Amino acid sequence: MIAALAGWVRRTPFTLAVMAATVVVVLGTRTFLHPLPRAAAGAAGLQSTDLTTGQWWSFITTIFLTAGPVGLLAGLAVLAGVLGLAEMTVGTWRAAALFFSTQLAAAVVFTGVVQLGGAVGIEWLGGMREATLMGPFAASAGALMAASRLVSLMWRRRMRSLTLGIALMLTLYVGHAQNLFILVGAVTGLVLGMAVFPARTTSYVARSTSRETRTNLAIVVAVFAVGPLMAAVAHIPVGPLAGLRNLVVNPVPSVRQLQAACTPLEESCQGLGHGIGLWGPGGHLLALAPMLLLLACAEGLRRGNRLALWMAVYLHLVIGVMSGFYLQVFAGFGLPLLRGRRVLSISSSMWEILPVVLVPFIIAAFLVARRRHFHIDPNPALRRRSIALLLLMLGVFVVLYAAAWYAEGNELGQYGFIGLFASLPRVLLPYPFPFSYGAAVYPHGFFTTLLFSMGGAVLWTASVVVVLALFLSRRVVAGPAGADRAAAAELVRRGGDSLSWMALWPGNQYWFTPDGTGGFAYQVHFGVAVTVGGPLGGPAGRAAAVDGFIDYCAEQSLTPCFYSLTDESWEALRRRGFRRAAVATETLLDICALEFKGKEWQNVRTALNKAAKLQINATWHKYSTLSTGLRTQIHEISEDWVSGRALPELGFTLGGVEELKDDNVQICLAVDSTGGVHGVTSWLPVFADDAVVSWTLDFMRRKDDAFKGVMEFLIAEAVLHFRGEVEYISLSGSPLSVHAPDDPAPGVLHGHQATGVLHEATGVLHEATGVLHEAGRAKGRGTGMGLTAGEGPTAGEGPTAGEGSGTGAGGGASAAAPAAVHPLVALEGTSMERILAVLARTLEPAYGFASLAKFKKRFQPRHRTLYMAYQDPLSLPAIGRAVGEAYMPNVSVRELTRLLRRA
């Protein structure tokens, strides 16, 4: 702690100077215990008219002023945290320049906004003309927003979201001139940073992972929840959304307000303010119930809980509807709706009332639009117990309240038993009932009054705890689903291919042979069963697994699509009339005798030597053993990588950060002497007969400013690390980059990165009709993408007629004469060729598949081809859509089309 504090002091001299100057000014003006006199504030503080009247120096002097002891503490905290962070990011001199530049720019913009708002008749802005601004808040926020340009994308998003969220919340809910000035300063600093600092990375779109999207949505919901509380505790809130505090927080009236609601003749009503029923801690806690529930939803949203999503949507819809009802009722009956010291009536400007109603609906719509990012369901057993517990608590409370109400003689009151039912909404619902309503149903008796005051608050607090526990839970895979995954894990250890471990990832379903010796992991999308690689289990049961899965799909009316298959399963598929198209090439390294000698290994040796010179070491971990700092850096690197792509992070057989958390996965980090992570790779085990026989490269990310060659270094270290354990390792695949048939080592692409791109096959397949006239001239030639026209059964010949050599990517042309190629077969081959070619051209700028293939050639690998096997060519559009949905579940077809056009 002391070392960290000393480091902060050394790196923030400008921040310390501003803090010291602020303290000196406060001591000199003797305002550390009392507010600054009005005359001094007007002379040195900033007002919207200063720049137009020639008092230009006030934009600097106001930085060192505070409104009192609370303002002093707040100013010093902001300087230490916000400005200090900005200075550590950009350096002392640049931080000083940004600090004063954003202060001046914000003063100019604030003056223009206030003057323009007053000129057009916006009372809220016009009322800020004479307001005096004091403190370093706007300049500090602007400096931090400008400096955020130079941090990693993950922290940049979080810094900006939090800063803008807080500033916007204070402006909309509290609405004081200081709040608007802070927001203007933050936005000004953001623009200034974009103008003077180059971006660390160039990205097509500001894309986030699902994890970051959920975090940002949680911030939005939390800000909406806390904003009304800030308005409730603020002195005379005047913001556009200040009226929502009556719905979300439901401020408890003061004794003076309560007594003012009673007529002089109602002596019993006048005495209510001295009791605990309408004035006490219970009323305050009940008023906070909606806010606490929204904060619980925000935490559930951050964790990806689907129930929290829909509850947040429901709560915002309820708040929106009740806002409209509340405002309409008050306007219709002529009752005063206070906002600060003003009264809103039916004649109030529509722009003042409309945001109060629309904002909850807008947030609800935004949550629904992003629902694809929420996949976690709560524990079903806990959900059932929670519902039962909530109903039980409600029932017990109602019974206890009714019993106490009757036992203490409240049925003899003015309203009789109607008073019991009329008081329950007032006790249980955090709705802003009129004071007179609460006074009318107020009971007598100690226990009844205690329950009337505290019962609703206790019930809501317990309910929020139960709901939060439900949001924090996860569905525990048990019963048949859990047994299926356990059986799949057993088959994975018996044998499989390089993708087999991915069969155990979330989102997969399983099918097994009757004797349990084989099976498939698959996903169903749009009526298509897309397998995750080849069959699971030992070699003896694979043919039976293929036949059985095809029959199962026929029984279930599913279209089978065998995805990322090797040649081993092709014979069984060909007998059943399947065709195949090469979709990727897998690179394999035989590491037992591999040595980094010769000219072809120059790049790898250079990377190893450079890492040694920079004191960068390769460290191996399981995710559970990583320190918090290393985990944070991995998330940061991943977020930067995703943001640099025009398309989103793929799923299905593409592992992300979540897949690193399995302790069977080995993680290799390139770490320097300061603990900084330059790159990260993850390796998945490949089993045969319960023993690890290979490792597959899955997760591969590098830091933007990592040393050149960090990936070569990490892979070379993996070769050295695994050399004594296995004979070969897989570097996964090069998507849409398939070796030609005459390649000395025709190969397989690791489909676990390659093939989410077939999502666009539906939109591209119609191009095949434009080549129908070429069908008669088709010669059964190879396609250059590993697809040979006629690979698979052909019309008029046996099931093997169209098969070439059966090796490599397409196996060469059939020996049959060109005239024997049926036009429809040629059309099919040409269509698939054009689909894959269009996808390769379209996605190359976004993902650099060709560059990836070229990079892996540096390790002198051997190759094997991975195929997609399908039975009916007419099902290709549905298969393309299903594969795309599997890889990109968080993107709609319209969004994907737009992104592909940008790429």
What's the confidence (pLDDT) of residue 101?
92
Q: How many domains does the chain have?
A: 3
* Residues 631 and 764 placed together within one structural domain of the fold: no
pLDDT bucket at 270, cuts 50 / 70 / 90 = very low
pLDDT over threshold 90, residue 845:
no
For residue 668, the model assigns a pLDDT of 92
The answer to whether position 287 is within a domain reads: no
pLDDT tens string 36-51:
666 666 667 787 777 7
Residue 487 in any domain: the answer is no
**How far out from the chain centre does Cα 877 lie?**
30
Answer yes or no: do 719 and 687 share one domain.
yes
Q: Highest mean pLDDT: which of 61-70, 121-130, 605-614?
A: 605-614
- Does 147 have pLDDT greater than 80? yes
17 located within any domain: yes
Q: Which of 397-406, 535-544, 658-667, 821-830 has the lowest mean pLDDT?
A: 821-830
Do residues 194 and 284 make contact, with C-beta atoms less than 8 angstroms apart?
no
80-84, 842-846, 853-857: the lowest-pLDDT one: 842-846
User: Tokens 């195949």 sit at which residue?
Assistant: 580
Q: Tell me what pLDDT residue 191 has.
A: 92
Distance of alpha carbon 862 from alpha carbon 848, whole angstroms: 21
How high is the pLDDT of residue 332?
43
Do residues 790 and 708 both lie within one domain?
no
CATH number of the CATH domain containing 664: 3.40.630.30
Mean pLDDT to the nearest integer, 610-635 = 88
Tokens of 120: 């057009």
- Give dist(CA 644, CA 847) in Å, integer: 9
Per-residue model confidence (pLDDT) at position 289: 82
Is residue 91 pLDDT above 60, yes or no? yes
pLDDT the model gives residue 93: 92
Q: Considering the chain, what percentage of its residues have pLDDT values greater than 90?
A: 10
Q: How far apart are CA 148 and CA 190, in angstroms?
A: 8
Do 91 and 57 belong to one domain? yes
Full residue range of the structural domain in which residue 762 is found = 751-902
Per the domain annotation, does 421 fall within a domain? Answer: no
Residues 13 and 159 in one domain: yes
pLDDT computed for residue 14 by the predictor: 92
Least confident of 53-67, 101-115, 177-191, 653-667: 53-67
- pLDDT confidence tier of residue 200, bands split at 50, 70 and 90: low
pLDDT band at 408 (very low <50, low <70, confident <90, very high): confident
Query: Is the four-CA dihedral 883, 884, 885, 887 of positive or negative sign?
Result: positive
Average pLDDT on 87-106 reads 91
Q: How confident is the model at residue 648 (pLDDT cuts 50, 70, 90)?
A: low
Q: What is the pLDDT of residue 475?
A: 65
pLDDT of 635 over the 90 cut: no
pLDDT of residue 834: 58
For residues 673-694, give the mean pLDDT. 89
What's the average model confidence in pLDDT over 844-858? 61
Query: Residue 289 corresponds to which tokens in the numbers above?
Result: 């119930």
Contact 686, 497 (CB under 8 A): yes
Q: Is the pLDDT of residue 143 over 90?
A: yes
Q: Is the predicted pLDDT of residue 474 greater than 60, yes or no?
A: yes
Q: Domain end: 182, 207, 232, which one?
A: 207
Quick check: 743 pLDDT over 80? no
Instruction: Kindly state whether residues 717 and 781 are assigned to the same domain.
Output: no
- 682 and 764 both lie in a single domain: no
pTM: 0.62
Same structural domain, 119 and 200 = yes
Local confidence band at 815 (pLDDT 50, 70, 90 cut-offs): very low
Look at residue 429 and tell me if it is in a domain.
no
d(C-alpha 245, C-alpha 248), whole Å? 5
Highest mean pLDDT out of 566-570, 684-688, 862-866: 684-688
Least confidently predicted of 141-155, 268-282, 426-440, 734-748: 734-748
Cβ atoms of 821 and 780 within 8 Å: the answer is yes
pLDDT score for 260: 54
pLDDT of residue 207: 57
When mean pLDDT is compared over 130-134, 471-475, 610-614, the highest value belongs to 610-614
Q: What's the pLDDT band for 680 if we cut at 50, 70, 90?
A: very high
pLDDT at residue 311 tops 90: yes
Same domain for 722 and 784, yes or no, is no
Which of these, 805, 587, 621, 555, lies nearest to 694 by C-alpha position?
587
Which residues 6+ apart lie within 8 Å of 50 measured at CB? Answer: 56, 58, 59, 107, 111
- Kindly report the three-state secondary structure assignment for every residue of 427-458: HHCCCCCCHHHHHHCCCCCHHHHHHHHHHHHH
Region 391-399: mean pLDDT is 90
pLDDT digits (tens, 9 = 90+) for 317-346: 988 887 777 665 444 434 444 444 444 444
Tell me 601's DSSP state: G
Task: Quote the percentage of the chain above a pLDDT of 70.
Answer: 71
The beta strands (E) that lie in 251-346 are given as: 337-339, 342-344
Q: Is residue 570 part of a domain?
A: no
Residue 711 phi/psi, 5-degree rounding, is: -70, -40
Confidence band for 351, pLDDT divided at 50, 70 and 90: low
Predicted local confidence at residue 784, as pLDDT: 32
- The pLDDT of residue 98 is above 90: yes
- 699/680 Cα distance (integer angstroms): 7
Give the CA distances from residue 699 to residues 148, 199, 654, 685, 876, in Å, rounded to whole numbers and listed in that order. 27, 25, 8, 13, 29
Q: Which of 207, 227, 247 is the last residue of a domain?
A: 207
pLDDT at 59: 81
**Is 422 domain-assigned?**
no
Q: Which residue has the higher pLDDT, 760 or 90?
A: 90
Per-residue pLDDT tens digits for 755-781? 333 333 333 333 333 332 333 333 333
Q: Is the pLDDT of residue 801 over 50?
A: no
Q: Domain check: are 765 and 664 in the same one? A: no
* pLDDT value of position 431: 66
Lowest pLDDT segment from 482-496, 568-582, 885-899: 885-899
With beta carbons less than 8 A apart as the criterion, state whether 818 and 780 touch. Answer: yes
Q: Write the CA distances from 695 to 487, 729, 828, integer angstroms.
A: 21, 5, 36
Distance of alpha carbon 665 from the chain centroid: 24
What is the rounded CA–CA span in Å between residue 545 and residue 281? 67
Q: What is the mean pLDDT of the chain?
A: 74
Q: How confident is the model at residue 298 (pLDDT cuts 50, 70, 90)?
A: very high
Q: Is residue 864 part of a domain?
A: yes
Please name the residue ranges forming H helices in 54-152.
58-61, 69-78, 84-90, 92-119, 123-126, 137-147
Query: pLDDT at position 99, please?
Result: 93
pLDDT value of position 188: 94
Same-domain pairing of 614 and 724: yes
Domain of 177, CATH number, reads: 1.20.1540.10
Same domain as 194, residue 166: yes
What digits encode the pLDDT tens for the residues 556-571?
Answer: 778 889 988 888 888 8
Helices (H), ranges, 121-254 = 123-126, 137-147, 153-169, 177-196, 210-233, 245-248
Domain boundary among 687, 705, 735: 735
